[in-house]
Structure 1
Amino acid sequence: MDLMINGQRRALDPKRVPDDMPLLWVLRDELGLTGTKFGCGVAACGACTVQVDGQPMRACVTPVSSAQGKAVRTIEALGTDDKPHALQQAWIEHQVPQCGYCQSGMLMAAEALLRAKPNPTDADIDAAITNLCRCGTYPRVRAAIHSAAKALRGGKA
């Protein structure tokens, strides 16, 4: 089986990776992409959120076979140390991360939201960001998403 992960074709050994293996474990254990986190294992918390064909998906319950032929994007592809994504910059500016465990999944959900709605309302954010944050930084998350949205629009309201 081949997967397209962060723009690169990755071949998986079918002897090691059964079709029903959760995408999360393929990413972490088979491909070494450890930015995607395991939280609950039942798609409730969102720590494992990645994008599949641009849509946020909970990787802990997504069978790897359902990602075949689709583009999978993980937190490792969001930005770089030299050039962070506008969301990553806003996360820092608004001091969103506390323990940080939910951050990669939340950022992937937020990036998908901003592609779909470049100027989201608070209600849009609340509906799209269903990820759980143990530290309760939801007001900071909302503010950071608004800041990133403005930056991505070139500073226009």
Structure 2
Amino acid sequence: MQVTMTVNGAEVTRDVEPRQLLVHFLRDTLGLTGTHWGCDTSNCGTCVVLVDGEPVKSCTALAAMTAGHEVRTVEGLADGATLDPVQQGFMEEHGLQCGFCTPGMMLTARALLDRDPDPDEQTIREAISGQICRCTGYATIVRSVRWAARHGAGAAAEAPAIPAPAAPPAAEEVPA
């Protein structure tokens, strides 16, 4: 079946199997590997993406269910080379360690801040309660979200630009 949706601001139309999970559509079909695939049971939350601005665990949502909707992945957080305040907050407050849960945490935080621009610690903890982080103990994640809340949209203007990736070497430059 054919589905059309908007992913990170761009309309995409693809043929999908009716049973294809959104996480596999994003990763395998569109190449957006920032969405991580963890438990397959919607317990860990690493696969969270935003669908029409709301956090959705993409390991239990079908790609076909998002037809006609707006999907935002972690690749869609930055505005060009300018980091989203949530991304900047995770850098400033060391809200990540291994990084596996980070994309889902960031998108959950973005949805929270879009609803409540100044959440308290308890509200942040409740918002991320559906996600598992085995590294940080959540204190630095909460501080990261608070940083983003304090800096709001202005943080994006202050955030450093993301450096452009180095161009891959030409075929003749690659050693055999």
Same fold (TM over 0.5): yes
Aligned twin of 1:74: 73
Rg larger in structure: 2
Distance 1:4 1:112 in 2: 17
Runs of 5+ unmatched residues, structure 1: none
1:22-61 aligned at under 5 Å gives the runs 22-61=21-60
Q: Give the drift of 1:153.
A: 6.5
> Which stretch shows the higher mean deviation, 129-138 or 78-87?
78-87
Percent identical pairs in the alignment equals 37
Aligned twin of 1:134: 134
**TM-score normalised by length of structure 2:** 0.82
Runs of 5+ unmatched residues, structure 2: 156-176
Once the two structures are superposed, residues 64-108 of structure 1 have per-residue CA deviations (whole angstroms, 9 ceiling, x without a partner) of 121111100000010157311111111111112111110001000
1:6-155 aligned at under 5 Å gives the runs 6-13=8-15, 17-79=16-78, 82-130=81-129, 131-152=131-152
| CA RMSD across the alignment | 1.5
Contact (CA 8 Å) 1:118, 1:153: kept in 2 or not? no
Contact (CA 8 Å) 1:3, 1:12: kept in 2 or not? no
**TM-score normalised by length of structure 1:** 0.92
* Equivalenced residues, count: 152
Runs of 4+ deviating beyond 4 Å: none
> Which stretch shows the higher mean deviation, 141-150 or 73-82?
73-82
